[in-house]
Amino acid sequence: MSKTNKYAIGIDLGGTNIKIGIVSDKGKLIHSIITKTEAESGPKKVISNIINGIKEVLNKNKFKIKGIGIGCPGVVDTKKGIVESAPNLPGWKNIKLASIIKKELGYDVYVENDANAAAIGELIFGAGKKLNSFVMVTLGTGVGGGIVFKKKIYHGDFGAAGEIGHISIDVDGPQCNCGSTGCIEAYLGNQYLKHTVKAELPHHPESKIWSLIENDLSRVSPRIIQKALELGDEYSLAIVVRMGKQLGTALTTISNIMDISTFIIGGGVAGFGQPLLEATRETIYARVLLSMKDRIKVMPAKLKNEAGIKGASSLVFYKN
């Protein structure tokens, strides 16, 4: 590979913002910008925002670019670079995103589901570099996932695989946005978690969360729980251990079905750190079938800030 060819553009296409950056083949973010998605204005406007953003980044940087990678919240035909559907982007149905951008800018363009892009980011730049197979778990507003099997994303029959947030751990559990019940997203997703903690806090008057939120329940957030945890709050530790039990139960199912035994945990809620990772690992170890027990590993993601841009840029190095 020539020295002038070591950079890629990574684009994290979200429902609210588009993040665009230049990343080296070592995973170093050189420069990035944020621009509004304007999703409500439809695909044409969004794509024009993406193209303008790329031009802006290119104008300010003289690196030779190998290609463009885009992580997109939806079902993607990665071979054709088509976004088949994207629930949070109105009007996105079979949008030929790769070919439109390639036509405009001339670079090779690779499109992936954003959770899969995060997994490829860890595979190429992060905690998954030396692994054959692992499941990337992204804990944030929702619970996302990407499954790497033998160094490749497992896409399933039609590209919709890896929806690990929608593993149900209780057939009669709480209602999930997806229509099912007891999905781990309905326990661990930010809104659900806040909801639970707000309801429980009055039963824990001793919790250090109270002073952090200045007695205002509307200020409960994962960040606040993390702070309380760092202050040694017992209730916060109990929350995190319960989350680990819930997550671990779901991940056990993945191991038993797919015989994949390494899990990389990323996303905002992963800020709960060791207590969460440890409770998750202990739960999987206790529950998984005997032949897999000793192979179970749970580790933190390496790409933290700008994991979205870096994951998207890694598509360029993964494909080639």
**φ and ψ at 116, to 5 degrees?**
-65, -40
Cβ distance 231 to 208 under 8 Å?
A: yes
With CB under 8 A as the contact rule, the residue among 88, 132, 175, 320 that binds a copy of itself is 132
Cβ distance 288 to 252 under 8 Å?
A: yes
Q: Take residue 84 and report the two structure tokens written for it.
A: 């088949």
With CB under 8 A as the contact rule, the residue among 144, 162, 189, 271 that binds a copy of itself is 162
Task: Examine residue 90 and tell whether it contacts a copy of itself (CB under 8 A).
Answer: no
Please, what is the minimum distance in Å from the beta carbon of residue 69 to a copy of itself? 22
With CB under 8 A as the contact rule, the residue among 59, 274, 291, 305 that binds a copy of itself is 291
| 191-250 binders of a copy of itself (CB under 8 A) | 245-246, 249
Q: Take residue 22 and report the two structure tokens written for it.
A: 């230049």
With CB under 8 A as the contact rule, the residue among 253, 278, 302, 319 that binds a copy of itself is 253
Closest to 20 measured CA to CA, from 55, 65, 64, 66: 55
Task: Examine residue 163 and tell whether it contacts a copy of itself (CB under 8 A).
Answer: yes
With CB under 8 A as the contact rule, the residue among 106, 156, 174, 202 that binds a copy of itself is 156
Nearer to a copy of itself, 58 or 292 (CB): 292
Any idea how long the chain is?
320
Give the x-and-dash track for 49-88 against a copy of itself (CB under 8 A).
Answer: --------------------------x--------xx-x-
Q: Take residue 263 and report the two structure tokens written for it.
A: 């899990």
Contact window for a copy of itself (CB under 8 A) among 99-107, 206-214, 256-264, 304-312: 256-264
Cβ distance 275 to 229 under 8 Å?
A: yes
Cβ distance 84 to 76 under 8 Å?
A: yes
With CB under 8 A as the contact rule, the residue among 11, 20, 239, 254 that binds a copy of itself is 254
Side-chain-side CA neighbours of 217 within 13 Å: the count stands at 13
Q: Take residue 5 and report the two structure tokens written for it.
A: 């060819």
With CB under 8 A as the contact rule, the residue among 2, 3, 232, 257 that binds a copy of itself is 257
Side-by-side strand order, sheet with 75-77: 75-77, 82-85, 93-95
**Chain residues that interact with a copy of itself, rule: CB under 8 A:** 75, 84-85, 87, 132-133, 147, 149-150, 154-164, 166-172, 178-182, 245-246, 249, 252-254, 256-261, 286-292, 295
